[in-house]
Copies of this chain bind each other. A is one copy, B any other.
Amino acid sequence: MAVARFDVLGIGNAIVDVITRAEEDFLLQQGMRKGAMTLIDEARAEAIYDAMGPAIETSGGSAANTVVGVASLGGRAAFVGKVKDDELGRAFCHDIRAAGVAFATAPASAGPSTGRCYVVVTPDGERTMNTYLGAAQDLHPSDIDTEIIGASAITYLEGYLWDPRHAKEAFLKAAKLAHEAERKVALSLSDAFCVDRWRDEFLQLMRSHTVDLIFANEAELQSLYQTANFNSAVAALRADIDVAVVTRSEKGCLVLGPDGIEAIPAFPVSRVLDTTGAGDLFAAGFLYGLARGADDPTCGRLGALAACEVIQHLGARPETSLAALARDNGLGD
């Protein structure tokens, strides 16, 4: 097995975030599920945009945020995802490449516009997301390049990929190619409602060893096993997959491995401004550590550190060098 050219390859929906701040009332008026990611069509996207306040546009997408985090930590990262060749698509391409991530997926020249996520941040820092997938609908198995999968230590896939029509085939192709090249495959469960849509298929991915590592937060885990009992859900997860990471916001995370369960604390945060990207950046830190051979506690601390940076400002991508932050916290090279 050759040395991996990339630490982490992310495959996900390529999305531009349209972020606004609003009071709780806005969520009620709009019938939005607070804290969740809801899929919307173009007409609903227009209606939400008409109703919402002034916004900023910034590149997002769950797995895309993760690989940008990996690059910010000093890792070598790549991304596969579909935008349209329009203004927002060009902004997405610019931003991810400018962050140092290799990104070569051909943009769509026809069809729906680049995907957008309308992110409503309430005064408590919680984000509520409404996603119009747009061009991300058109990610296809032909977008998966054998060479880049084989060249990546870890292929990381977001659960949201189960939503677009052909993306799950792209997902399965990537996982197969990765394993053929003796590489690892990781999956994020993405969102409790996403788990609810695809519960049986996600369980099957784990039980069939299609994925080697799972990231889940508490709500996703409880949705996966349809139980409010956290300990039961953790026990069920341990039976279904060799390695899993369960994130618990300010309570830190649990790393479930063959040898037991390790609890790793979060970093203290004085004020949570916008939780968008917290899970994505946690995965960035953990995966970077994993690709570089760090032990579980170090991987978990790197994840916690990256998550802690991103929730202290608006937007889902790091504003400062995570590599410098890691060094300052005794976690760097």
Q: In the bound complex, what is the Cα–Cα distance between A59 and B56 (angstroms)?
A: 8
Does A106 sit at the interface, judged by CB under 8 A? no
Q: In the bound complex, what is the Cα–Cα distance between A113 and B88 (angstroms)?
A: 13
Does A87 sit at the interface, judged by CB under 8 A? yes
Known contacts A49-B94, A88-B87, A94-B49, A99 near B54 by CB under 8 Å: yes
Does A315 sit at the interface, judged by CB under 8 A? yes
The winner among A55, A57, A58, A315 for most chain B CB atoms within 10 A is A57
Mark each residue of chain A from 69 to 107: 1 if its CB lies under 8 Å from any CB of chain B, else 0.
000000000000000001110010011101100000000
Does A317 sit at the interface, judged by CB under 8 A? yes
The reply to whether A87 and B113 contact each other, CB–CB distance below 8 Å, is yes
The reply to whether A55 and B315 contact each other, CB–CB distance below 8 Å, is no
Count of residues in A whose CB is under 8 Å from the partner chain: 25
Does A111 sit at the interface, judged by CB under 8 A? no
The winner among A54, A96, A98, A319 for most chain B CB atoms within 10 A is A54
Which residues of B lie under 8 Å from residue A50 when comparing CB positions?
94
In chain B, what residue has the closest Cβ to A90? B49
The winner among A68, A94, A317 for most chain B CB atoms within 10 A is A94
The reply to whether A56 and B57 contact each other, CB–CB distance below 8 Å, is yes
Q: How far is the CB of A277 from chain B (nearest CB, A)?
A: 13
Known contacts A87-B86, A87-B88, A88-B87, A53 near B98 by CB under 8 Å: yes
Q: How far is the CB of A57 from chain B (nearest CB, A)?
A: 4
What number of copies of this chain does the assembly contain? Answer: 2
Does A52 sit at the interface, judged by CB under 8 A? yes
Which residues of B lie under 8 Å from residue A56 when comparing CB positions?
56-58, 315
Mark each residue of chain A from 39 to 66: 1 if its CB lies under 8 Å from any CB of chain B, else 0.
0000000000110111111110000000
Contact of A99 among B53, B95, B319 (CB under 8 A): B53
Q: In the bound complex, what is the Cα–Cα distance between A54 and B316 (angstroms)?
A: 12
Contact of A59 among B52, B54, B68, B94 (CB under 8 A): B54
Mark each residue of chain A from 92 to 130: 1 if its CB lies under 8 Å from any CB of chain B, else 0.
001110110000000000000100000000000000000
The winner among A21, A56, A58 for most chain B CB atoms within 10 A is A56
Q: How far is the CB of A198 from chain B (nearest CB, A)?
A: 31
Which residues of B lie under 8 Å from residue A94 when comparing CB positions?
49-50, 54-55
A to B CB contacts below 8 Å, 26 in the list: A21-B319, A49-B94, A50-B94, A52-B98, A53-B98, A54-B59, A54-B68, A54-B94, A54-B95, A54-B96, A54-B99, A54-B317, A55-B91, A55-B94, A55-B95, A55-B98, A56-B56, A56-B57, A56-B58, A56-B315, A57-B57, A57-B58, A57-B91, A86-B87, A87-B87, A87-B113
